[in-house]
Amino acid sequence: MHPQTNSLKTFTLRNFYAGVTIAGAVLVCIVLAACQSGAMEKQNSYAEDRALIEDLQARYMFALDHGDLDSYVATFTEDGILDIGEGEWQGRDTIKHILASIPQQEEPLADTDAPKLHPATGRHNITNIVLKVEGDTAYGRAYWFHMSNNNPQRRANLNSYGHYEDVMVKVNGQWLFSKRKIYNEEVTKWAAPDGNPSW
């Protein structure tokens, strides 16, 4: 064989192997980038869902404390369930009707000649939110507590606390309560059973 032909073959094989090596390296980089992108997308999706769910939780509280029943029931699905310990109330209309019928009471003034006080208020707060998101369904656990100034001195008091157990669903891109179970440690029959409610 002519020496030049042999050298040409060797050069061609070297180029071939080098090309295969480079192509393999590029393929590995593409696969790793795709995996990283998928992981990042999943992480971003959870962060976005969590932010929207926390927004839902906050809007629920604001609506409840300010007596905005239309906004309150709008945090539930059309057939959503609210359970405060008196059985399940299902559907926005049912929830709104029952809550609207609950009387709002203030403590009477001890001295009827005392200056008239501004209306008492209450504010719910939520903490320790634990969420598990599975596609368009999410499960939540969270503590809540209630501050009120319903006393003749209008002094702020922590007067109730408990926790929520929630099931939420995403409807047309919006998270809503499918079911909210409220435990209240101030009332015996509404108190939570023993054990860690989270996971």
Is the residue at 63 inside a domain? yes
Q: Which amino acid is at 11?
A: F
DSSP 3-state of 51: helix
pLDDT tens-digit readout, 54-99 = 999 999 999 999 999 999 999 999 999 999 999 999 999 999 999 9
Other beta carbons within 10 angstroms of residue 34's beta carbon come to: 10
91, exposed or middle or buried, with CB in 10 Å at 0-12, 13-18, 19+? middle
Full domain range(s) for residue 147: 3-190
Of 6 and 50, the one with more pLDDT: 50
State the residue for tokens 């939570």: 192
pLDDT tens-digit readout, 8-21 = 555 565 665 656 56
Give me the pLDDT at residue 116, please.
81
Q: Is the pLDDT of residue 174 over 80?
A: yes
How far apart, in whole angstroms, are the C-alpha atoms of residue 158 and residue 168? 28
The tally of domains found in the chain comes to 1
Please list, in sequence order, all residues whose beta carbon lies within 8 angstroms of the beta carbon of residue 140, skipping any fewer than 6 positions away.
53, 57, 129, 130, 131, 132, 164, 165, 166, 167, 168
Is the residue at 44 inside a domain? yes
Average pLDDT, the chain: 86
Is the residue at 12 inside a domain? yes
State the residue for tokens 């962060």: 47
Is the residue at 79 inside a domain? yes
The H or E element that residue 33 is part of is: helix 3-65
CATH number of the domain within which 147 lies: 3.10.450.50
State the residue for tokens 């539930």: 76
Is the residue at 105 inside a domain? yes
The closest of 62, 93, 54, 99 to 76, measured between CA atoms, is 93
Give me the pLDDT at residue 193, please.
96
Give me the pLDDT at residue 22, please.
72
Give me the pLDDT at residue 73, please.
98
Is the residue at 198 inside a domain? no
